[in-house]
């Protein structure tokens, strides 16, 4: 099949990375002053903004309130200019709803919802380029930490693929569009527990463990980075407070 | 707009302060908050800009796509506006109303011959033209949305780079569009006459420019004036539940023109300075 070679003979990918290498990650917490918590992350060309409000009174129908836990509400919206071709609807379409549900599932596993009964936590993610789910989860983790909502552990996510017998970590848009198997993994690093696992396309089960391990290692690397960002932010905040 | 709850005492405090030309944050009635403008923040658009006006945060992306010209204007391209409110005060469908209102206002202010020279967007009459999709993303609402959005739209249009195309006609008469090989060969729009909106809120007997959410909660009526850099008014609209005296409208319009000219001058100098730093400039975006 003619086309781009996703993995060259020397082991280099299309953008020059090695198989297990992540894209450059830069992140910042506390981007918006009015939100309870907010964060921005750049993973290569993918940019995600997460905004967290809560815990607050349930808006809308009181009937949805859970007596013993908080309700985590996630909305994903993707800017119309984010993809190569202009998207018409920023939110409300199937992909955004599905992504919102996935994020909700991921964060319900991590946030200690028992501490805030009858309240609602909103996570809004605005995403601006290919490589979506992982960047959204990482941004949302930072935003939830910025809001001071207690979590069991960081939630770090990464995607992985499989080409020519090698597992690739952190797929870019070009690699995703090539149509090979893609695995999205959200991990709680301290315990090694998986919050969300999703795989597209066909993959032989013999290879699954390798791909899973590549994704898990990449997620742990992301955790190191996010940890550093959080500590830096706390250090800056305590300097400003004059501690 | 997003609402904020204020007690009566706070409202009285704000109103009395404005009468003395002293607002809560120490500004005068005609002062803007600190505005941060940065262009070229989103890489896969033709042009983009981010504006931070106090707590209001706006991101505008312009994408140039090829389309067919409208029937009544076969020699011109056109602009399409879309506003998306991404703040959770507008959860789900709620933001659509505000988004449509802002988009319609943007259509109105650009709906005249002089704002943007649409003839430069034409590729071949009646067949191909450039359509500029201007998408506004409202990230945080901290009062004075219209002004921030119009500043961001002007900066994004200034930053827009449309690839140069040539129309090749062969013997049978079928036309082929050829994109120039050099990715830096592009046409820029002239934004000399692009207007900016100045919102004047009537609080008590005086009016203020660039109201915060709290000040907007105290004002009954506002006037949106769309002013170009030369002080020409292209569009005017009254918003709000209250009513305005005709004399106040004239006063507010004069203030709007005065403030608008200063706003344009500073915006022009900032975007030109940014452009002069060239492609090696450090892009800050949301990381700064």
Measured CA to CA, the distance from residue B59 to residue B36 in angstroms comes to: 12
Nearest CA-CA distance, residue B113 and chain A, Å: 27
Q: Over the stretch A126-137, which tens digit does the pLDDT of each residue have?
A: 555 556 889 989
Chain B residue numbers with beta carbons less than 8 Å from the beta carbon of A47 are: 42, 285-286
ipTM of the complex: 0.83
Q: Strands B56-67, B196-203: parallel, antiparallel or unpaired by DSSP?
A: unpaired
Closest residue in A to B288 (Cα) is A28
Q: Which helix (H) or strand (E) holds A75?
A: strand A71-78
| pLDDT of B105 strictly over 80 | yes
Judged by CB atoms closer than 8 Å, whether chains meet at B86 and A82 is answered as: no
Q: Quick: pLDDT tens for A141-198.
A: 999 999 988 899 999 999 998 888 888 888 888 888 888 888 999 999 999 999 999 8
CB contact under 8 Å between B137 and A126, yes or no, is yes
Average pLDDT on A91-112 reads 84
Rounded Cα distance, B83 and B93, in Å: 13
Residue-wise pLDDT tens digits, B255-266? 999 999 999 999
Q: How far apart are CA A133 and CA A198, in angstroms?
A: 10
Paired strand residues for A124: A51, A75
Q: What is the pLDDT at residue B202?
A: 93
Q: At CA A57, angle to CA A56 and CA A62, rounded to 5?
A: 150
Q: Which residue has the tokens 């290569």?
A: A44
> Closest Cα to residue B135, out of B81, B96, B93?
B81
Task: Give a three-class secondary structure readout of chain B.
Answer: CCCCCCCHHHHHHHHHHHHCCCCCCCCCCCCCCCEEEEECCCCCCCEEEEEEECCEEEEEEEEEEEECCCCCCCCCCEEEEEEEECCHHHCCCCHHHHHHHHHHHHHHHCCCCCCCCHHHHEEECCCEEEEEEEEEEEEECCCCHHHHHHHHHHHHHHHCEEECEEEEECCCCCEEEEECCCCCCEEECCCCCCCEEEEEEEECCEEEECCCHHHHHHCCEEEEEEECCCCCEEEEEEEECCCCCHHHHHHHHHHHHHHHHHHHHHHHHHHHHHHHCCCCCCCCCCCC
CA distance A73 to A71: 6
Please report the pLDDT score of residue A128 as a whole number.
54
Share of chain A above pLDDT 90, in %: 26
Q: What is the pLDDT of residue B1?
A: 45
Count chain A–chain B contacts defined by CB atoms under 8 A.
Answer: 83
**Alpha-carbon Rg for chain B in angstroms:** 21
Would the CB atoms of A75 and B91 count as touching at under 8 Å? Answer: yes
Output the pLDDT for position B93: 60
CA distance B169 to B173: 6
On whether the CB atoms of residues A62 and A124 are closer than 8 A, the answer is: no
**Which residues of chain B have a CB within 8 Å of the CB of A45?**
43-44
A3 pLDDT higher than 60: no
Contact status of B142 with chain A (Cβ, < 8 Å): yes
Query: What integer pLDDT is reported at residue A68 of this predicted model?
Result: 81
Asked if A128 and B57 come within 8 Å (Cβ–Cβ), the reply is no
Nearest alpha-carbon partner for A126 in A161, A177, A168, A91: A91
In this predicted model, what pLDDT tens digit does every residue of A223-233 receive, in sequence order? 999 999 999 99
Look at residue A96 in the predicted model and tell me its pLDDT: 82
Higher pLDDT, B179 or B107: B107
Summarised one tens digit per residue, pLDDT across range B2-31 is 567 889 999 999 999 999 999 999 998 899
Question: Which of B79, B88, B214 is the best residue to mutate to test the A interface, defined by the most A CB atoms within 10 Å of its own CB?
Answer: B88
More confident of the two residues A129 and A36: A36
Cα-atom radius of gyration of chain A, to the nearest Å?
Answer: 18
């Amino acid at each position: 099949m003619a086309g781009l070679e996703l993995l060259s003979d020397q082991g280099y990918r299309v953008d020059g990375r090695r198989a297990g290498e992540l894209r450059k990650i830069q992140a910042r917490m506390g981007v918006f002053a009015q939100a309870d918590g907010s964060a921005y992350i750049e993973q290569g060309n993918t940019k995600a903004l997460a905004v967290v409000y809560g815990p607050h009174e349930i808006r809308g129908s009181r009937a949805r309130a859970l007596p013993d836990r908080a309700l985590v509400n996630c909305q994903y919206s993707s800017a119309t200019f984010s993809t190569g071709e202009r998207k018409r609807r920023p939110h409300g379409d199937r992909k955004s709803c599905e992504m919102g549900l996935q994020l909700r599932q991921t964060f319900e596993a991590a946030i200690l919802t028992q501490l805030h009964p009858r309240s609602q936590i909103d996570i809004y993610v605005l995403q601006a380029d290919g490589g979506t789910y992982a960047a959204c989860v990482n941004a949302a983790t930072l935003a939830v930490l910025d809001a001071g909502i207690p979590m069991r552990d960081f939630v770090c996510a990464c995607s992985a693929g499989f080409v020519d017998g090698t597992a690739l970590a952190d797929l870019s848009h070009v690699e995703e569009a090539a149509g090979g198997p893609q695995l999205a993994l959200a991990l709680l690093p301290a315990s090694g527990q998986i919050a969300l696992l999703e795989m597209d396309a066909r993959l032989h089960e013999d290879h699954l463990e390798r791909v899973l391990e590549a994704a898990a290692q990449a997620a742990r690397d992301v955790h190191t980075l996010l940890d550093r960002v959080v500590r830096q932010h706390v250090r800056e905040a305590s300097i400003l407070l004059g501690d | 707009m997003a609402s904020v709850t204020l007690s009566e005492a706070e409202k009285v405090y704000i109103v009395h302060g404005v009468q003395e030309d002293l607002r809560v944050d120490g500004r005068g009635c005609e002062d803007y908050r600190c505005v941060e403008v940065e262009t070229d923040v989103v890489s896969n658009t033709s042009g983009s800009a981010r504006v931070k006006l106090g707590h209001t945060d706006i991101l505008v992306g312009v994408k140039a796509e090829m389309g067919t010209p409208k029937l009544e204007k076969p020699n011109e391209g056109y602009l399409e506006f879309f506003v998306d409110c991404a703040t959770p005060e507008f959860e789900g469908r709620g933001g659509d109303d505000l988004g449509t209102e802002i988009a319609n206002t943007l259509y109105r202010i650009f709906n005249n011959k002089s704002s943007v020279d649409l003839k430069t967007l034409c590729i071949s009459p009646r067949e191909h033209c450039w359509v500029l999709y201007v998408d506004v993303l409202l990230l945080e609402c901290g009062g004075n949305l219209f002004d921030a959005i119009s500043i961001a739209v002007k900066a994004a249009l200034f930053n827009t780079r449309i690839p140069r195309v040539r129309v090749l006609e062969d013997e049978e008469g079928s036309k082929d569009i050829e994109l120039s090989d050099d990715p830096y060969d592009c046409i820029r729009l002239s934004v000399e006459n692009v207007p900016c909106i100045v919102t004047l809120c009537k609080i008590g007997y005086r009016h203020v420019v660039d109201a915060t959410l709290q000040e907007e909660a105290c004002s009954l009526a506002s006037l949106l004036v769309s002013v170009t850099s030369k002080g020409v008014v292209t569009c005017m609209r009254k918003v709000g539940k209250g009513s305005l005296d005709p004399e106040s409208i004239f006063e507010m319009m004069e203030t709007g023109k005065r403030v608008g000219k200063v706003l344009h001058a500073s915006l022009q100098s900032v975007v030109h300075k940014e452009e002069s730093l060239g492609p090696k400039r450090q892009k800050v975006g949301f990381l700064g």
